[in-house]
């Protein structure tokens, strides 16, 4: 069946460095790719998303890139801060119920 692979499972960076999380999806019909941030003990919250007709989207320190040919998409966080520490989930959706989540990346930002 369809799946989304997310790497790495754990990422540790120094404050101020960049962090990159990568996802690969299998369903060619996927056309919407959201990213969620889940802080400890909290609910996942949408932080950025990208649609299949766009290759890159940026919002302040976070950006997402999409390569539909390779079925890859990535989250980039620049100038990381301790409050960026959280679990990040990627997802791929073709609309309807078919939103498949990656297993998550636990990001640690060391001060």
List of residues contacting other proteins (CB under 8 A): 6, 9, 31-32, 34, 36, 42-46, 49, 51, 89, 93, 95-97, 99, 101-104
Task: Give the Cα separation of 72 and 87 in Å (integer).
Answer: 19
Task: Give the Cα separation of 111 and 108 in Å (integer).
Answer: 10
CB of 108 to other proteins, least distance (A): 16
SS3 content of the chain, % helix, strand, coil (to 5): 5, 55, 40
User: Measured at the alpha carbon of residue 89, what is the angle toward residues 105 and 18, in degrees to the nearest 5?
Assistant: 55
CB of 16 to other proteins, least distance (A): 29
CB nearer to other proteins: give 19 or 50: 50
CB of 15 to other proteins, least distance (A): 26
CB 10 within 8 A of CB 103: no
CB nearer to other proteins: give 72 or 106: 106
CB nearer to other proteins: give 97 or 111: 97
């Amino acid at each position: 069946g369809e799946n989304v692979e997310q790497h790495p499972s754990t990422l540790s960076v120094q404050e101020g460095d960049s962090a990159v999380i990568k996802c690969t999806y299998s369903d060619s019909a996927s056309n919407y790719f959201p990213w969620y941030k889940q802080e400890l003990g909290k609910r996942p919250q949408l932080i950025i998303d990208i649609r299949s007709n766009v290759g890159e989207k940026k919002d302040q320190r976070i950006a997402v890139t999409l390569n539909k040919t390779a079925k890859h998409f990535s989250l980039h966080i620049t100038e990381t801060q301790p409050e960026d520490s959280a679990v990040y989930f990627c997802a791929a959706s073709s609309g309807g119920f078919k939103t498949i989540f990656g297993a998550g990346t636990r990001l640690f930002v060391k001060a």
